[in-house]
Amino acid sequence: MMSKFEDYLDELFPNPRCELNYSKDYELLIAIVLSAQSTDRQVNKVTDTLFRKFPLLTDLSDADIFELEKILRPVGSYHKKASYVKEISYKLLNEFNGIVPRDREILLNFPGVGRKTINVFLSEYYHESCFAVDTHVSRVLKRLGIAKKSDNVYIIERKAMKKFLKEEWGRRHLQIVLFGRYYCKAIKPCCKDCKLVDICHEKKKNF
């Protein structure tokens, strides 16, 4: 079952990549924070404006909160996210010389940063072996029976780490995110031509 799943992921996404746009470490961290309850496409539109208007960490740290809220409104929860952007920028400048730390425990103390955000950041920017679980990963793994419907994200993460080779965690995460985003969608999944339909627990609901 796993080999079939992995082969299909490799067929669909031989060279998966993160779809968030960034050029600096803090831009990636902020983009991941902004992606909560939003889409990468929408986040990219917002960060394009955000990082052009405030090109430096000092600019973001000193930015007017209402101006940030105006820019971030399209990604939802913009009051909180504007506050996160300012606080993250200030913290990086004053405690870490403007560099995003690699330490997981330290990152957990950043506003708006949780386990998924850290896993995505460390995997993407520092190429560490991490397996991040977002809504797409959770949905796909539950539909395929790799995780139970009652499993929380931490349990799903642990199960996925056991199923996939450690050196492939980052790549598999990206592949499953893309599979969930474009094929195994929450609404109207593309089941008709899916090569995993015979092992999918949800197949009867979608035909």
Catalytic residue among 45, 80, 134, 148: 134
Catalytic residue flag (residue 25): no
Burial annotation 86-105 (CB, 10 A radius, 16+ → b, else e): bebbbbbbeeeebebeeeee
48 is catalytic: no
Which residue of the set 7, 80, 116, 195 is catalytic? Answer: 116
* Interhelix angle 115-125/25-34, nearest 10 degrees: 140
Is residue 160 a contact partner of residue 133, using CB atoms and an 8 Å limit? Answer: yes
How far apart are the C-alpha atoms of 47 and 71, rounded to whole Å?
A: 9
Retrieve residue 136's tokens.
């797409």
Question: Which residues are catalytic, by number?
Answer: 116, 134
